[in-house]
Amino acid sequence: MSKRMFALLALAISLFGTQCWAQEPVPCSSNSGIICTFSPTQTKNTYEFGDGSRLVVEFVTVLTTFTLEVDVSNPTNPLPLDPNEFPAGTVCVQYPSNATNVCDQYDFSGSAGGPHGVPVKNIDYKGLVSLTLSYFTVQTVHNPAFGHAPGDITTFTEDILTSYSNVPTGCGPSCDPTMGGKPPSLSSVIALDEAFTESGDTFCGPLTLTSTNNPSDNKPQVEVTLKIVSGSNCSAKGIRDKTARLSVSTTDINGNVIFPALKNAEGNKFHWDNKNGLNEFDISTDGLVSGQVYTVTLFSSKISPQSATFTAP
């Protein structure tokens, strides 16, 4: 992000402070953090923080009425991470407004009956909770992760990342990352950057997107083709990347990144074309908005995130 743009955003944030935006008017307030109210008719709220980050909290179904507060704390590396979940060298994502090696951790509390007053599944709500976190960073992200410390524990033991966008649609290359996750309950979450667990491989770009049809039902698809080689010679035959995942994102009318649900998804995994040495993924465009531009972001333990765009037919 350019310094001028960041300065203007910082000025705007300083004027308006931290806010909670709801789908419809409900009581929201600011104490040490931001407090929003959820109810059977109010299942989604957006928390805007003074450093420019945004956290959207959405429940599938809310059974009771409760308040949910989000406070920001600032841990430093090294973080308390479960080594069985996060590889050595994993660090939190640093925000440019913070001191060196300091990151933002989002801590949940509330008026319900769970730990720290957070809502309890099947009592206060049903289904998973959807979190969408957008943030500023000048840090190079290798392999993104969304750390979650469930319950009362202070160690991050879960990676809840389900979606990621490093270049939101319509923003250009200077825009900031957004990640999505679906924790079974609410506690503390943090944006993480995992170190590569495999090295010496090269992404042979660009990421290729090709319009095609599903041969079984003739419905339109977009085929994503990824080539990675061992070493640096891109003329060599490609190798398989079993860790490669992708997300599809777009923006709403307010410019916020959203992750539409994909139909007939292939388990979020690429399949391997051994003959041509290519990793491939077929995205069904069924249910996507015709004429809307979407961004495909690929992330992996081998290569840094890569993006390309397509227009839904």
CATH of the domain at 276: 2.60.40
Clarify whether residues 141 and 234 are in a common domain: no
**Total domains present in the chain:** 2
Q: What is the pLDDT of residue 5?
A: 43
Distance CA(28)–CA(36), nearest Å, equals: 5
Which of 147, 162, 194 is the last residue in one of the domains? 194
Q: Is the model more confident about 173 or about 288?
A: 288
First to last CA, the chain: 31
Q: What is the pLDDT of residue 4?
A: 43
Q: What is the pLDDT of residue 50?
A: 79
Q: How confident is the model at residue 98 (pLDDT cuts 50, 70, 90)?
A: low
Clarify whether residues 154 and 205 are in a common domain: no
Clarify whether residues 223 and 297 are in a common domain: yes
Task: Return the structure tokens found at 103.
Answer: 């990151």
Clarify whether residues 15 and 149 are in a common domain: yes
Q: For residue 12, give every residue at least 6 positions away whose Cβ sits within 8 Å of its Cβ, in sequence order, or none.
A: none
pLDDT digits (tens, 9 = 90+) for 210-234: 998 877 777 889 999 999 999 999 9
Structural domain including 210 reads: 201-311
Clarify whether residues 190 and 208 are in a common domain: no
The beta-carbon contacts of 160-164 under 8 Å, at least 24 apart in sequence, are 160/131, 160/189, 162/247, 162/259, 162/268, 163/247, 163/249, 163/259, 164/247, 164/297, 164/299, 164/305
Clarify whether residues 176 and 227 are in a common domain: no
Q: Is the model more confident about 94 or about 58?
A: 58
Clarify whether residues 214 and 186 are in a common domain: no
Distance CA(270)–CA(244), nearest Å, equals: 7
Question: Mean of the pLDDT values across residues 54-71?
Answer: 96
Q: How confident is the model at residue 20 (pLDDT cuts 50, 70, 90)?
A: low
Q: Is the model more confident about 252 or about 144?
A: 144
Query: Does residue 190 have a pLDDT over 70?
Result: yes
Distance CA(66)–CA(143), nearest Å, equals: 35
**Which residue, among 295, 310, 281, 204, has the nearest Cα to 250 in the 3D structure?**
295
Clarify whether residues 188 and 215 are in a common domain: no
Clarify whether residues 160 and 61 are in a common domain: yes
Local structure of 48: helix, strand or coil:
strand
Percent of the chain with pLDDT over 70: 84
Clarify whether residues 186 and 239 are in a common domain: no
Which of 146, 172, 194 is the last residue in one of the domains? 194
Which of 133, 162, 194 is the last residue in one of the domains? 194
CA 21 to chain centre: 19
Q: Residue 259 to residues 26, 59, 97, 130: CA-CA distances in angstroms?
A: 25, 15, 27, 11
Q: What is the pLDDT of residue 7?
A: 44
Distance CA(137)–CA(96), nearest Å, equals: 6
Q: What is the pLDDT of residue 244?
A: 93
Q: Write the CATH number for 52.
A: 2.60.220
Clarify whether residues 146 and 278 are in a common domain: no
Clarify whether residues 141 and 229 are in a common domain: no
Query: Does residue 18 have a pLDDT over 90?
Result: no
pLDDT digits (tens, 9 = 90+) for 23-48: 444 545 565 689 999 999 999 999 98
The enclosing H or E element of 250 equals: strand 245-251
Q: How confident is the model at residue 80 (pLDDT cuts 50, 70, 90)?
A: very high
Q: Are the C-beta atoms of 97 and 136 separated by less than 8 Å?
A: yes
Mean pLDDT of the chain: 85
Q: Maximum CA pair distance of the chain?
A: 60
Question: Mean of the pLDDT values across residues 276-283?
Answer: 94
pLDDT digits (tens, 9 = 90+) for 121-155: 999 999 989 999 998 887 888 999 999 999 888 89
Q: What is the pLDDT of residue 101?
A: 67
